[in-house]
């Protein structure tokens, strides 16, 4: 696995930043990550801290920044609690390039499992794993960089997330167990690379999912035990053959759709590549 780094031989160093103890459940943590060169590993923390950030990078060419600030914006919290903002970033030093190749820049970020959060990430060159399992997620936006990125929802989200948006540039995008995100709206936009979206998981309410393909194949896994309305744009539409689905005009409905308490509205916008759909 290759990460972005400096073009000359420098030793990377690791800097660690830790936050205070996690606050009450009425607080909201807004997380903003800007990491333009390197891989990111994000997980739920289990040590009772609001966050723990470990940044490994070339000190000669780049500098890290981790700041936590408080904001009195009661409208953004469920009960008028404190909004805290966590900013994590890596930037080039003045006069020096944000080089690619050589040392590995890596961010390992643990976020408190018990605090509601909105997360905004903008990544660069590198391979990243964003494991949101156990995080109380209300909104999530990710712009992936040049490299493969996987987003994981291995545990059901206890919050009602408004929107999950994932945008690719260059590299494959994978989403595991999207149903556990408990998001009302999910949008996955591809760049140059494949898209793989697993829509199984514990869907607790009806939702919409849009897959906007670009250049690359699309692999979708649809849940068997929930109602699904599938709309696929041309030319992929004519090649869709799904057991247990009936075509009604330009959409495909599974057998559970009409009577389902929880139904998914899935829309696929074709790009250059192939579409493969499995049911599980």
Q: What is the arithmetic mean of pLDDT over 91-113?
A: 75
Contact 54, 41 (CB under 8 A): no
Whether residue 185 contacts residue 161, with contact meaning beta carbons closer than 8 Å, is answered with no
Q: What is the pLDDT of residue 215?
A: 94
- Whole-model pTM: value is 0.90
| Cα distance between residue 216 and residue 253, in whole Å | 26
- The pLDDT assigned to 100 comes to 44
pLDDT level of residue 60 (50, 70, 90 thresholds): confident
What share of the chain in percent tops pLDDT 90? 73
E strands, 50-156, are 51-58, 62-71, 83-92, 106-112, 117-125, 128-131, 137-143, 149-152
Average pLDDT, the chain: 89
Q: How confident is the model at residue 169 (pLDDT cuts 50, 70, 90)?
A: confident
Lowest mean pLDDT among 7-11, 138-142, 235-239: 7-11
DSSP 230: E
How many other CB atoms are there within 10 angstroms of residue 243's CB atom?
7
Contact 135, 44 (CB under 8 A): yes
Answer yes or no: is pLDDT of 8 > 70: no
Residue 78: the pLDDT is 46
Which tokens in the block code for residue 198?
A: 């697993």
Instruction: Give domain limits for the chain.
Output: 1-126, 153-273
**pLDDT exceeds 50 at position 3:** no
Question: Which range scores top for mean pLDDT: 52-61, 73-82, 231-240?
Answer: 231-240
CB atoms within 10 A of CB 193: 21
The alpha carbon of 232 is separated from its chain's Cα centroid by a whole number of angstroms, namely 23
Helix, strand, coil proportions of the chain in percent (round to 5)?
5, 55, 45
Beta bridge partners of 192: 170, 215
Share of the chain above pLDDT 70, in %: 88
Q: Virtual CA dihedral for 69, 79, 46, 184, nearest 10 degrees? A: -100
How far is it, in rounded angstroms, from Cα 5 to Cα 57? 7
Which pair of structure tokens corresponds to residue 105?
């820049």
């Amino acid at each position: 696995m290759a990460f972005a780094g400096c073009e000359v031989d420098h030793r990377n160093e690791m800097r660690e930043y830790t936050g205070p103890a996690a606050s009450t459940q009425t607080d909201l943590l807004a997380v903003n990550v800007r990491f333009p060169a390197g891989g990111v590993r994000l997980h739920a923390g289990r040590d009772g801290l609001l966050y723990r950030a470990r940044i490994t990078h070339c000190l000669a060419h780049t500098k890290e920044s981790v700041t936590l600030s408080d904001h009195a914006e009661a409208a953004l919290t469920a009960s008028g609690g404190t909004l805290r903002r966590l900013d994590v970033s890596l930037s080039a030093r003045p006069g020096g390039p944000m080089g690619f190749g050589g040392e590995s820049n890596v961010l390992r970020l643990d976020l408190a499992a018990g605090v509601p959060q909105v997360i905004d990430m903008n990544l660069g060159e590198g391979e990243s794993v964003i494991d949101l399992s156990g995080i109380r997620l209300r909104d999530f936006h990710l712009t992936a960089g040049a490299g493969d990125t996987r987003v994981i929802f291995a545990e059901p989200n206890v919050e009602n997330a408004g929107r999950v948006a994932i945008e690719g540039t260059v590299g494959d995008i994978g989403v595991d167990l999207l149903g556990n995100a408990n998001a009302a709206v999910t949008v996955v936009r591809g760049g140059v690379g494949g898209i793989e979206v697993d829509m199984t998981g514990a869907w607790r309410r009806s939702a919409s999912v849009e897959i906007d393909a670009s250049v690359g194949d699309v692999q979708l896994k649809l849940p068997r035990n929930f109602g699904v309305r599938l709309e696929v744009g041309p030319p992929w539409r004519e090649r869709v053959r799904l057991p247990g689905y009936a075509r009604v005009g330009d959409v495909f409905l599974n057998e559970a759709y009409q009577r389902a308490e929880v139904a998914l509205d899935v829309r696929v916008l074709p790009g250059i590549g192939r579409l493969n759909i499995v049911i599980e």
